[in-house]
Amino acid sequence: MFQLLYSDDIVKFIADMSNLYALQRNHTLNVTSNEIRVYIAILLLTGYLTPKYMRMFWEVKSDTHNDLVASSIRRNRFFEIQQYLHLSDSTSLPANDKFAKVREYFTKLNVNFTANFTKAGSSHISIDETIVPYFGRHGTKQHIHGKPIRFGYKLWSAATRHGYLVNFEPYQGASGPSLKMQSELGLGAAVILELHSRLPIELGPYNLYFDNFFTGLPMLKYLREQNVGGTGTVRENRLENCNLPNSKDMKKEPRGKLYHKASEELIAAKWHDNSIVTIASNCHGLDPITKVDRIGFVDKKRAKIQVDCPAIIKMYNKYMGGVDRFDENVDSMRVALRGKKWWFPLFAFGLDASCQNAWLIKRNSENNWTYCDFRRNVATIYLQKYGKSPTRNSACGVPVQIRVPTEVRSAGSADDHSQIDCSQRRCGYCHQRTRKMCAKCNIGLHVKCWYNFHNK
């Protein structure tokens, strides 16, 4: 399932672009697709097993050593891939795209997400914003006060009720290129129309759900003409000539009170819940009105009460939270490695989104899989299948298997072991640098550590 979404062509694309970037920096990387898969697996592993420093995975100390990682790739090779990782040809980037370095990567992900949407398909789609955490400097970084993630890149996202991310588009700010019909209907409406145009036609017609940033009556009328349902909360200054009671006056009335105005195409309603909810739709009406449980006051005591709820509110609450569910799943196990490149959080976002989407597809057939179980299986199988046991070259050029200090040592005296000079390496006892080694054990050792190591 993971390889359906994070497919072989994406892995090969990353390997090719990384090799090209290394050559442009006068370095020969020669990274293969299998090495990229191992690198990806380690990033996925950091989502549920986060070290203070990545180098701890390769330490020989038992409290941090990860045998699966250390036996799959050498430490220096991992950081070499990290240094030269790239997602584009830097010599041919379009000048008017602030996300040019990740544009082709995002396009490939969107194609795979949409192509496999049928496996987790639904005609009810919620559209909202997603924030990818980033604290560095970039022209598109956003600050949204009051959000769980205040600083980062903003992505317009379309997701199903359960959190399957169908499509997304990064926001480039006010100075970025305009979307189709943005000048006529505004930014929010243009985002809705753009994301809807990317949905598979065969699963339509769709019902779209969005918040008051996107909703406007002209946009709902346009969606109705395109045979697309639209439902969203709406700001009072966007109701045009729809005369509904003032919100301050409605707060004095009992909970569950409902006012509405309707035409042949649209309906707008105000409903008194914990606060006043203003909502508009071109596909849902008020009937049937059902009872919903709320916490209120009866005889000045807190108690459970029942409040009348129209169908338009019930449908909105049911399908609107898809993007929030996606954000919750991704944030529970996000890639923990922080790169130095401005686009690295966006690269890691693609990994997290692919893994989360694959888990949702898998969960449709087997309900007992948790997201953590699924992610662990992907990381483990990738490391076992594509990892190579680290080797180094001896003085005569013959590959020699690296010895680890945890091997069985000869007990008793160290008199039958001899010390010789060697190239710089780590001491098997104190793990500091040394140029002395034991000829019999083939392990670096200081003179001061000689007897302690052999008699341990």
Strands 151-159 and 258-262: unpaired
How are the residues of the chain apportioned to helix, strand and coil, as percentages rounded to the nearest 5? 35, 20, 40
Strands 124-133 and 207-210: parallel
Task: Report CA-CA distances (Å) from 421 to 4, 398, 437, 438, 444.
Answer: 52, 19, 6, 9, 9
Handedness of CA 120, 126, 132, 137 (dihedral sign): positive
Angle, helices 33-45/8-24, rounded to nearest 10 degrees: 100
Distance (Å, whole) CA 281 – CA 209: 9
Distance (Å, whole) CA 149 – CA 268: 32
Amino acid at 368: N
Phi, psi of 417 (to 5 degrees): -110, 140
Q: What is the largest CA-CA distance in the chain?
A: 98
Closest CA relative to residue 257, chosen from 238, 277, 239, 237: 277
Distance (Å, whole) CA 382 – CA 118: 26
Token pair for 430: 């104190």
Contact 139, 97 (CB under 8 A): no
pLDDT in tens, the chain (456 residues): 999 999 999 999 999 999 999 999 999 999 999 999 999 999 999 999 988 899 999 998 888 899 999 999 999 999 999 999 999 998 999 888 899 999 999 999 999 999 998 887 788 999 999 999 999 999 999 998 888 888 999 999 999 999 999 999 999 988 888 888 888 888 999 999 999 999 998 887 899 999 999 999 999 999 999 999 999 999 988 988 888 888 888 988 888 899 999 998 899 999 998 889 999 999 999 989 998 888 888 777 888 888 889 999 999 999 999 999 999 999 999 999 988 999 999 999 999 999 999 999 998 877 788 999 999 999 999 999 999 876 655 444 444 444 444 433 444 445 578 888 888 889 988 888 898 889 888 889 988 888 888 877
Phi, psi of 77 (to 5 degrees): -70, -40
State residue 121's pLDDT score: 73
Contact 6, 349 (CB under 8 A): no
Distance (Å, whole) CA 450 – CA 249: 86
390 CB-contact burial (10 Å; exposed 0-12 / middle 13-18 / buried 19+): middle
Q: Residue 15: in which H helix or E strand, if any? A: helix 8-24
Contact 274, 292 (CB under 8 A): no
State residue 181's pLDDT score: 85
Question: What are the sequence ranges of the domains in the chain?
Answer: 2-94+333-386, 233-313, 403-454
Distance (Å, whole) CA 169 – CA 181: 16
State residue 52's pLDDT score: 87
State residue 393's pLDDT score: 52
3-state secondary structure of 99: coil
Closest CA relative to residue 230, chosen from 210, 212, 213: 210
pTM for the model stands at: 0.82
State residue 375's pLDDT score: 96
Distance (Å, whole) CA 206 – CA 193: 12
State residue 344's pLDDT score: 96
CA of residue 378 relative to chain centroid, distance: 15
